[in-house]
């Protein structure tokens, strides 16, 4: 695994040098965003550490798209688990300071999951941030949505390095899981598969096992290995169904992904039934204008279209479009689709 980490670090450093020497790249300050969920306990520690330092403990991609980071990642995280908080990280980047501190970053838009549709900036694990402010974001449905403003800081303090090394050790499994997801986003499923298998062997917790099995299903689905994908998605679904609620997000996602495999196998009626189950869960666990609801409506519409019920398909597509008009930026790739 260390070899993979070293190669990724080297790739980022190489891209950084190439892109910084390019005359087409902007040299001024800019802002990137990261939407994700944090456990309440972890978030409370962050609030108490205002003006302190933090590290993300892994390679993480950040986006230049604030709306997408908020609506597709931070806001859903605030709804899905009562023990978690949705966080929009707002990170100010000064290229000159990065160069002085030796902190490489790279624009991976052309090789990441969005393939040029949206901008992704990838930082190495060396990046250390100063917590400038922690503030709530107004929301009609939850009080667990927050904005955390960060600045990149120099990382040449030995005491600081020792502190972050300790935190990385304490959070090793979380870091590996996020790194596995990143490799899948960067279209390197073989590496992601090895990492998820290793993580699965190292945990006995039902929720984590179900998550890693589900992610292995995503790897196999990406590789068009439908039989393995189906097996893993169903195994994860069986575990999630036995875990005490609330597991709405995980159940809905598992149903949807099993449906995706049936769809890819052209078993449209089976796929439709699973998409409907996901939709019923989302109706009670998410706001009516949530992007995930729109995705389920689109999935069901696609199945009705394949089954020849074009009137029902059109109705569902129109409902999905109305949600996307309010939930997504106008230049989002979904509107093209």
Question: Residue 124: its pLDDT value, please?
Answer: 64
Question: Residue 8: its pLDDT value, please?
Answer: 59
Total number of domains constituting the chain: 2
- Mean pLDDT, the chain, rounded, equals 77
The pTM of the full predicted model, rounded to 2 decimals, is 0.54
CB 317 within 8 A of CB 301: yes
Final residue of a domain: which of 120, 145, 170? 170
Is 175 within a domain? no
Same domain, residue pair 155 and 257: no
pLDDT of residue 305 exceeding 90, the answer is yes
Final residue of a domain: which of 112, 144, 170? 170
- How far apart CA 69 and CA 206 sit, in angstroms, is 29
The strand ranges marked E within the chain are 30-39, 53-54, 60-63, 84-93, 105-107, 120-123, 128-136, 145-153
Final residue of a domain: which of 170, 199, 232? 170
Same domain, residue pair 155 and 6: yes
Which CATH number goes with the domain that contains 195? 1.25.40.10
More confident residue, 305 or 99: 305
Same domain, residue pair 143 and 267: no
114 SS3 class: coil
Question: Residue 32: its pLDDT value, please?
Answer: 86
Q: What average pLDDT score do residues 122-136 get? A: 78
Which CATH number goes with the domain that contains 139? 3.90.176.10
Same domain, residue pair 187 and 318: yes
Q: What range does the domain containing 263 cover?
A: 181-336
Same domain, residue pair 139 and 27: yes
List of residues 6+ apart from 159 with CB closer than 8 A: none
């Amino acid at each position: 695994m260390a070899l993979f980490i070293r190669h990724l670090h080297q790739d980022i450093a190489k891209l950084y040098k190439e892109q910084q020497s390019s005359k087409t790249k902007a040299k001024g300050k800019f802002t990137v965003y990261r939407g994700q969920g944090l456990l309440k306990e972890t978030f409370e520690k962050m609030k108490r550490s205002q003006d302190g330092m933090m590290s993300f403990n892994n390679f993480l991609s950040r986006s230049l798209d604030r709306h997408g980071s908020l609506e597709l990642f931070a806001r859903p995280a605030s709804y899905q688990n009562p023990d978690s908080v949705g966080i929009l990280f707002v990170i100010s980047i000064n290229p000159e300071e990065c160069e002085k501190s030796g902190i490489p970053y790279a624009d991976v838009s052309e090789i990441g999951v969005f393939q040029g549709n949206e901008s992704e900036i990838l930082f190495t694990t060396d990046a250390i941030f100063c917590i400038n402010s922690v503030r709530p974001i107004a929301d009609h449905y939850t009080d667990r949505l927050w904005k955390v403003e960060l600045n990149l800081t120099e990382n040449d303090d030995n005491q600081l390095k020792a502190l972050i090394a300790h935190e990385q050790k304490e959070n090793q499994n979380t870091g590996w899981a996020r790194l596995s997801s990143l490799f899948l986003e960067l279209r390197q499923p073989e590496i992601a598969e090895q990492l998820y298998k290793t993580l699965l062997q190292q945990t006995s917790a039902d929720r984590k096992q179900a998550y890693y099995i589900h992610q292995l299903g995503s790897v196999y689905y990406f590789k068009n290995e439908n039989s393995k994908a189906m097996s893993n998605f169903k195994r994860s679904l069986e575990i999630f169904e036995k875990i005490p609620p609330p597991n709405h997000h995980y159940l809905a996602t598992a149903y949807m992904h099993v449906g995706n495999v049936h769809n890819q196998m052209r078993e449209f009626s089976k796929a439709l039934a699973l998409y409907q189950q996901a939709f019923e869960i989302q109706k009670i666990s998410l706001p009516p204008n949530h992007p995930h609801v729109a995705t389920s409506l689109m999935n069901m519409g696609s199945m009705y279209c394949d089954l020849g019920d074009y009137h029902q398909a059109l109705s569902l597509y129109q409902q999905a479009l109305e949600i996307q008009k309010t939930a997504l930026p106008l230049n989002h790739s979904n509107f093209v689709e």
